[in-house]
Amino acid sequence: RKEVEQDPGPFNVPEGATVAFNCTYSNSASQSFFWYRQDCRKEPKLLMSVYSSGNEDGRFTAQLNRASQYISLLIRDSKLSDSATYLCVVKKNDMRFGAGTRLTVKP
């Protein structure tokens, strides 16, 4: 079993749609959690950290369920510019990435 598993997608949604990504992790001792965004042929960049209480940043909401070892990212009112690959990241001592979920937002 992979340490961090994501639905690879692709997700193809119209502008304005709400889309949710899920991620599960296997190491129950993991300490920190993040969502990164990667555009084509670019490096991954931090989108947001994920806190136990859940957190929101504009149109983006991240949630963590430690009991189920599950992380989610919700994007509301999706924009064309949201098209990218979204990577779930889990940290204990090192940082482990999921394979990413590809999102395409269409006009």
Interface with another protein (CB under 8 A) = 31-32, 34, 36, 42-46, 49, 87, 89, 91, 93-100
For 31-48, b/e burial (b = at least 16 CB within 10 A) is eebbbbbbeeeeebeebb
Q: Is 47 left (phi over 0), alpha (psi -120 to 50) or beta?
A: alpha
CB closer to another protein out of 78 and 100: 100
CB of 32 to another protein, least distance (A): 5
CB of 91 to another protein, least distance (A): 8
Checking 56-64 for CB contacts under 8 A at 24+ apart, the result is 60/35, 62/33, 62/35, 64/33
Amino acid residing at 37? R
CB closer to another protein out of 33 and 75: 33
CB closer to another protein out of 21 and 78: 21
CB of 66 to another protein, least distance (A): 14
The Cα–Cα gap between 47 and 81 comes to 13
CB closer to another protein out of 35 and 75: 35
CB of 10 to another protein, least distance (A): 13
